[in-house]
Amino acid sequence: AKFPDCIAVAVDNAPAMIARAKERASESTCGERVAVVEGDMTNLDIESIKAEAQARSLVTQNFCDSTEGKPFFSGFDCATILLGTAAHLIRADDAISCFKSVAQLLKTDGVLVLELEHPFDLFDGQLLDAQGDAWDREVGDDKNTKVLVEWGREGDHFDVETHVVERTVGINVVDEKGSPKNGFVPVEETVRCKIWTAPEITLLGKLSGMKVVATFGDMATEIPLCHEDAHNMIVVLKRDE
């Protein structure tokens, strides 16, 4: 609603996430301007994404260029890979493939925004002495239901050569007594995450036709990467024309 002339295409490889994203889009006032497609970020279907964007471009005349009075999609202004999702690009080849595809989808002055783990997590030894983290959240207005999340566990393996950590990730839904809610079966998996450093992202950008134009320590431009309140590493890349 804040940007009535914008369109968006979301990509995910999990059917449940796709269904939820479509549901949220339809509940909002911008549903007709948002496309949700199934895809793999290591092998993005560029033509399919462009086709979805073109279809949404017919909704607003202001977003796209026009030819013979008809709007056409000329590239995205911004692409985002947030919440540490890029950590699932374990292999350098997969990361390069992803970055190259994004670069092809951006306008000449378009940007890619990455949200990654802060390098302090790598260099201060925390990953070698894994302790993990956990938190809980109430579900909407239901004060008697909580979602418990475990992100990492003591003893999780970290490979010092590849910078890949094998994190134990758990999710549970409990009632006010701490018992599983409505028979919910707790979920626990081991998730492999790559800890990327800033120089590596710079190199990946160069190999993909992009360059780093800014870094931040959080989703706030006033917090630099070296600030004591920096919790993440935000990297902004732009097509290197």
Lowest model confidence (mean pLDDT) among 23-37, 72-86, 145-159: 23-37
101, 199, 214 from 204: Cα distances, Å? 12, 9, 15
Asked if the model's pLDDT at residue 67 lies above 60, the reply is: no
Question: Measured at the alpha carbon of residue 135, what is the angle toward residues 130 and 139, in degrees to the nearest 5?
Answer: 155
Query: Coil, strand or helix: which one is 194?
Result: strand
Query: Coil, strand or helix: which one is 232?
Result: strand
Query: What is the pLDDT at residue 63?
Result: 46
pTM listed for this prediction: 0.89
The token duo for 223 is 């917090």
Name residue 189's beta-bridge partners. 169
Percent of the chain residues past pLDDT 70, beyond the cut:
93
Backbone phi and psi for residue 117, each to the nearest 5 degrees, phi listed first: -65, 145
Higher pLDDT, 241 or 213: 213
Q: What is the Cα–Cα distance from 165 to 195, expressed in whole angstroms?
A: 8
pLDDT tens-place string over residues 212-223: 999 999 999 999
Query: What is the pLDDT at residue 127?
Result: 75
| pLDDT tier for residue 61 given thresholds of 50, 70 and 90 | low
Q: What is the Cα–Cα distance from 231 to 133, expressed in whole angstroms?
A: 14
Q: Checking DSSP bridges between strand 142-153 and strand 132-139, what pairing results, if any?
A: antiparallel
